[in-house]
Amino acid sequence: MIAIPQQPQKMTIEEYLEWELQQDIRYEYVNGEVFAMTGGTIPHNDVALNFYTALYPHLRSRGCRVNVSDVKVQVSPTGTYYYPDVIVSCDAQDLNARKFIQKPKLIAEVLSPGIRAKDRGEKFINYLKMPSLKEYILIDSEEISVERYCRGEGRMWLYYPYTVGDMVTLSSIEFEFPIEVVYEGVVFETEE
């Protein structure tokens, strides 16, 4: 999804959480400012849903939850809330959450031309500061490419790129799948 800045009016977290419930669209919150979430492309949506569909049966049997697009994550209790494309939590507190996820184990963002820089920049930096996060996944919607960042020792993050024919391993949830599963039915621009 693409975030578009709103008016420069600042809000507290409490004001944002109450105000957003009354809005017709979703808004991300970063340090007092709100950003409207606009619609993505069909390939973006297809990739996110394919990834969610692959994870769902595996995670439900393990007592974890997986959500897609419309669930926000509290990146920081003092200032940042995002709507990841796919979010996984196995934390007991999050299993009954009603407003937002606080302790994600895995977050995935689907890359599209308009949001690629934000997902690789601002969101990447903020997500990696979350102590509960074990893996950050970037899935390209324009070509077959998945990037996995996996928490290592201390502040180290390990990078794993995947492309056509690869098996994608998600160690945080003990799951492996062929990369093609994520791209099933996705029409790339060159195929139109």
Can you give the residue ranges of every domain in the chain? 40-191
For residue 3, what pLDDT is reported? 55
Burial track 163-172 (b if 16+ CB lie within 10 A, e otherwise): eeeeebebeb
Query: 160, exposed or middle or buried, with CB in 10 Å at 0-12, 13-18, 19+?
Result: middle
- Say if residue 95's pLDDT is above 60: yes
Query: Measuring CA to CA, which residue among 78, 132, 125 is closest to residue 101?
Result: 132
pLDDT over 70 (residue 146):
yes
Please tell me the distance from the alpha carbon of residue 182 to that of residue 164, in angstroms, as a whole number. 11
**Whole-number average pLDDT of the chain:** 90
pLDDT tier for residue 32 given thresholds of 50, 70 and 90: confident
pLDDT tier at 8, thresholds 50, 70, 90: very low
Segment 40-66 shows an average pLDDT of 93
Q: Over the stretch 96-135, which tens digit does the pLDDT of each residue have?
A: 999 999 999 999 999 988 778 788 888 999 999 999 999 9
- Alpha-helix residue ranges (DSSP H) falling in 137-185: none
Residue 88 and residue 129 in contact, taking contact as beta carbons nearer than 8 Å:
no
Task: Name the CATH superfamily, with its identifier, for domain 40-191.
Answer: tt1808, chain A (3.90.1570.10)
H helices present in the chain, as ranges = 13-20, 42-60, 92-95, 116-120, 122-127
* Between residues 189 and 33, the one the model is more confident about: 33
Percent of residues, the chain, with pLDDT higher than 90:
63
* Inter-residue long-range contacts of 173-178, CB under 8 Å, 24+ positions, other chains counted: 173/55, 173/58, 173/59, 173/62, 173/64, 173/88, 173/90, 173/105, 173/106, 175/55, 175/58, 177/54
Residue 5 has pLDDT above 80, yes or no: no
